[in-house]
Amino acid sequence: MLHIIWDLMTIEFVIVTGIALIFGTWVGFYAAKPRSLKGKHVMITGGSSGIGKYLAIECAKNGAHVSLVARNPALLEEARAEILKFASAAEQKVSCFSTDVSGPYEQVERTVLQAEEELGPLFLLANCAGYAKAARFEDTSVEEMKKLMAVNYLGAAQFSRAVISGMKGRREGSIVFVSSQGGLCGIYGFAAYAASKFALRGLAEALAMELKPYNLTVTVSFPPDTDTPGFAEENKDKPEETRLISESAGLFSPETVAKLLLDHSLKGKFISTVGLEGFLQSTVCAGMSPVTSFVDLLIQVFSMGLVRLVSAFYLFKFDRIVVKCMENRDKKKRSL
């Protein structure tokens, strides 16, 4: 009996290895080579602060012209002055556009058109605009749910739609979506927020398939908690359960997230993550996501079972946190 089981495992290993090698070879042949940003135009929504601003700084260091999109004109000008300090050439430009990403589509189109008139054809669009609201689902208003979807999902969808035709015509370009680890795993207090971030992954996967024949790449980032003004605002009224669970992934700097995101995007990688937690989550949630890295594919194929087991322990830990917090609240009520 053991002999039969061993033979079956050997056959499975050979089949899986063969499939991985075939796909790896195919992806390696067609994958986009690392690209240069020198003299190229990069547009970043949410570029006045947080990950967006530091991504703009990294693009400026790499010689790109940058257009920043956000709502607050004063913050945009402050960010512009800071980003220009990191420009690698005197002729580099940074332009600002005060636009609500969730506003009318006609306004989004005008913003893209004006930016391209000033800085040239768009090479990379980074959808960084977004916000988080942590609350139990029944405590989240329908208006808040609509706003989360409008800003986090529809804002990215609108700008992406506005730039796609031009990129396809030029047969070059990249679109980046900044999701969240909450876009890979829904946790307590993030029901409405996670839905808006999960939506970005679905959009990115479908868009990657549509744009691949035109030599365009799509990258979706799943950052953990990042030390930004938005994160500080989010923490003001975050449920204790949400705070304790999200703390397990650690707190990262926006500089770290931005550097990795730009590197992954220029290499044409579909998934961009930071830290051990991000690696575990992206591996166990790989599913039918586009294959853009032979190494990542092999890791997913041979570690999926083990990583799934590790993730089960994490989920058990999260469930215990939720139960413990509930017990503590009940104890406080009884003591009153």
Say which residues have a Cβ less than 8 Å from residue 168's Cβ, sequence separation at least 6. Answer: 211, 214, 216
- What is the mean pLDDT of the segment spanning 287-303? 90
Q: Return the percent helix, strand and coil in the chain, to nearest 5.
A: 65, 10, 25
Give the tokens for residue 105. 């589509």
Say which residues have a Cβ less than 8 Å from residue 141's Cβ, sequence separation at least 6. Answer: none
Strands (E), the chain: 41-45, 65-70, 94-98, 122-127, 173-178, 216-221, 225-226, 251-252, 271-272
- What is the mean pLDDT of the segment spanning 156-162? 98
Question: Where along the chain do its domains lie?
Answer: 34-311
- Mean pLDDT score across all residues of the chain: 89
301-312: burial string, b at 16+ Cβ within 10 Å, e else: beeeeebeeebe
Say which residues have a Cβ less than 8 Å from residue 301's Cβ, sequence separation at least 6. Answer: 16, 19, 20
If phi > 0 it is left, if psi is from -120 to 50 it is alpha, else beta; for residue 327 that is alpha
Write out pLDDT tens, residues 11-63. Answer: 443 444 445 445 545 544 444 466 899 999 999 999 999 999 999 999 999 99
Write out pLDDT tens, residues 237-283. Answer: 899 999 999 888 789 999 999 999 999 999 999 999 999 888 989 99
- Provide the CA 20 distance to its chain's centre, in angstroms: 26
pLDDT of residue 273: 94
pLDDT of residue 33: 65
Q: What percent of the chain has pLDDT over 70?
A: 90
**Of the residues 48, 67, 179, 265, which is catalytic?**
179
Q: Tell me the longest C-alpha to C-alpha distance in the chain.
A: 73
**Of the residues 40, 67, 193, 221, which is catalytic?**
193
The residue type at 99: T
Write out pLDDT tens, residues 205-221. Answer: 999 999 999 999 999 99
- Give the Cα-Cα-Cα angle 9, 12, 17 (nearest 5 degrees): 125
**Of the residues 40, 53, 197, 269, which is catalytic?**
197
179 is catalytic: yes
d(CA 254, CA 226): 6
Q: Is the pLDDT of residue 5 over 60?
A: no
Q: Is the pLDDT of residue 76 over 80?
A: yes
Taking the CA atoms of 25, 223, 140 and 47 in sequence, report the sign of the dihedral they define: negative
Task: State the DSSP H helix or E strand holding residue 119, giving kind and residue range, or none if neither.
Answer: helix 105-119
193 is catalytic: yes
The residue type at 49: S
- What is the mean pLDDT of the segment spanning 308-330? 92
Q: Is the pLDDT of residue 305 over 70?
A: yes
Which residues on adjacent β-strands are paired with residue 218? 175
Q: Is the pLDDT of residue 313 over 80?
A: yes
| Class (C level, CATH) for 34-311 | alpha beta
Give the tokens for residue 240. 């204790």
Q: Is the pLDDT of residue 83 over 80?
A: yes
